[in-house]
Structure 1
Amino acid sequence: LADTGNISCVGTNEAGENSTTTYLLVVDKPYIRLSPQLSPRLAQQGSLIEVNVGEDLELNVLIEAYPHIVEHRWFTPTSPNTSTQEHKFIRFNNRYHASLQLKRMNIQEQGQYTFYARSNLANAS
C-alpha cells in the first residue's frame, strides 16, 4: 500500500532520451471480515441467544471488505423474510453495517440466522 504512486521510466541512448510515467495502485488482498454485534442485555451463550416470545430482537453485523460488497442477505428460519423483519444496510468506505430487526418474535422464528456478504473476489457468512 505504501508503494502506491507514480512510477517513471527514463531511457537514454545515442538517439536521445525518452520517458514515461504511470500510476501504480497497490491494493489489499480481497477480504471480508464479519463482526457480530449483540446487545449486552441479551441472554447469550456463545452465539446462542434467548428471546421471549413477543419480544423484539435486533441482530447487527459490522463488515469490513475489499473490494466493495456486491451482494448481501440474511438467511433466517422463515426465509423468505416475513413482514415482521426489517433490514438495513449502510455503507461507509470499505466498512458496512447490516442489521436485521425482528418484531414480536414467535416460536416459528426460532433457529439459525446467518448474514451472507459477497464481493467480486471474496465471500463470507
Structure 2
Amino acid sequence: MNYEWDAAGQERKLQMQELEEITREAYDNATLYKERLKRTHDQLIQVKTFEHGQKVLLYQSRFKLMSEKISSKWIGPYEVLAQYPNGAVEIKDYKFGGIFKVNGQRLKAYYGQETEDDPDSLKLQGQEPN
C-alpha cells in the first residue's frame, strides 16, 4: 500500500502537466496545419477582374437535367454591370433583362459573336439566314 500521499500527489501533478503539454502541442500542430492548408488554397484562387460592359459566361452548377456530356456547363452571355471589392460581380441577363450578383469565380470572359436575329442561333458558313 502507498501511504505517501505527498509523493503520490506530486507524481499525479507531473502526469497532469505532461498531459497538458501534449494537448497544447497537438493544438499548435493543428493550427500550423490549418494555416499551411489555407495558404495553399489561397494560392490556387485566381484573381479575376471584369470591366463594365464586358460579356461573360456563368458556370451553371445547379442544373443537371441533361447528360453532362451533351450540355454545356457555361451559360450566357451576360453583361457585367459592376464588380465589388469582395469578389462579387453584378451581371445582367441579355434575354430577360434580369440583374443579379454572383461570385466572380463562377465567371469567365466571353469572346464569341452573337447574331442580331437570335442570340441562341448559330450561323454555319454558306448557310442563308432564315
TM bin, normalised by shorter chain, reads under 0.3
Bigger share in helix: 2
Bigger share in strand: 1
TM-score of the pair, normalised by structure 2: 0.23
